Chains A and B, each alone.
Chain A
Amino acid sequence: MKSAVLVFPGINRERDMARALKLASGQESTMVWHAETALPKGTDLVVVPGGFSYGDYLRCGAIAARSPVMDAVRAFAADGGLVMGVCNGFQILCESGLLPGILMRNAKLKFLCHDVHLRVERSDTAFTRGYNARQVIRVPIAHGEGNYTADAETLKRLEGDGRVLYRYCSPTGEVGDLHNINGAAASIAGIVSEKGNVLGMMPHPENHVEDIMGCTDGRGLFAGLVEHLERAA
């Protein structure tokens, strides 16, 4: 799996992401600076990592989404290429128009930094193949603006098309206001694009991939991507 990790000023999770990608695929990622106008040849997966691009000025992800490299990412995604955005990366993908909706300030206004449980809604996608449908995984979050929202029509379409892949839930998989840590519409933690090749999610699967991290529930996402690409090859 040849992966490219985008780097914007203020991003700080790119190394965690590259480490998780290498662990799953055995291959080093290429770091791609935001001012580049092309992705490395043969890229299988583009990852937009987490952090605070441009200090969250204007709106989270708004300025990064207008970077030169994002035109290349849009073209890559239009060709069916796999794109994954985590945390600030999810915000950037929403601002760039690759995913619908927007991430608003957490409902209780607090920056949240702790583990959460996620319910994997289906297992038949590139981004969830490493899990079983309805499996509950534990991964960390670290965000102040993760409260996903979109207009009623878009939310209806996301649900109808099965494009919600990850939802905040209890340790046993119940979804409800009590477990919806940031107030997101329908407890949405992660969604995919219409064609299913662009994922955005707020939690950080890359931070639960090694034993020393205390949990390895994030591995499935990366292993699933590797498997998906091997099957496609």
Chain B
Amino acid sequence: MIEHTLENEKQEMRQAFCQCLLDLAADEERLVLLDADLMSAMGTKPFQEAYPERTVDCGIQEANMIGTAVGLSLTGKIPFAHTFASFMSRRALDQIFISGAYSKANVKLIGSDPGITAKTNGGTHMSFEDMGIMRGIPTMTVLEATDITMLKWIMGWMARTYGMQYMRLVRKQCVKIYRDGTDFQIGKAVQVMNQFDAQATIIASGVCVAESIKAARTLSDEGIGVRILDMFTWKPLDNQAVIDAAKQTGAIVTAENHNVNTGLGAAVSEAVASSCPVPIEFIGVHDRFGQVGDQDYLAQQYGMTAKDIVEAVRKVVDRKRLYLHR
């Protein structure tokens, strides 16, 4: 089980992102950074100052940025390309699909401001579908960094692993979950909590992990124990952890900052349906667009708060009892 602190990170995610790039670039001269006029927003100007010859700010042209990154990778570079998650997935999809994945290139795709964390950028910039879009691309690895500890691990893995990989991450403040230096594994969910006699498993990702931990505290007071899995690795999904959760706890709640119909809820449902059908409740966005608002407001709007997760767990546990007594 994992220690969790639930304190705000001391750094913003973007500061950690830039520092991590600097650290990796010091040891890996093939690493290059591309952006489409969001370097200031992403806080990567210090990288540009340290490595001007390895920084390519393409300007406002996401499609050409991806093609350029692919071309760079064909000459042996290790390109990290950043834009907002919405533009990365929706605007540059065909380039990522064909120039990138279909032709087996090596580009690290970084999508920031996922879902409700786009806040006042609102509906045009709010990606509730980026992970689903990426999940539909053969061979693509699809990840969501939960906190800075995990972010650092994922970036190191990306830099040393050939292939097309997508990571979404919060750009600004984030909650710290993991002890510094924690090791992760692609395709392996993190068991954040496993209470005695867990009656349901919350399979969460991104900002919903912290909310799930808060929810577990409330549920514990009511005598409902839960297991929490941080499914940061959407593809490959940890099927075994999902199946174990279904078999051992008999009920599942998925919790994501994303559209349920193409997202984690869908992915978990596929795994559960094909092995051990159990009741599932889905926390996340249900076929809606984004809008402006602060993060707390948006979390309430889309039913992503700890309170919503508590209710979903109660509901799924009730459904399990009905199911068992049928």
Q: Do A and B come from one complex?
A: no
**Which residues of B are interface residues toward A (Cβ below 8 A)?**
none
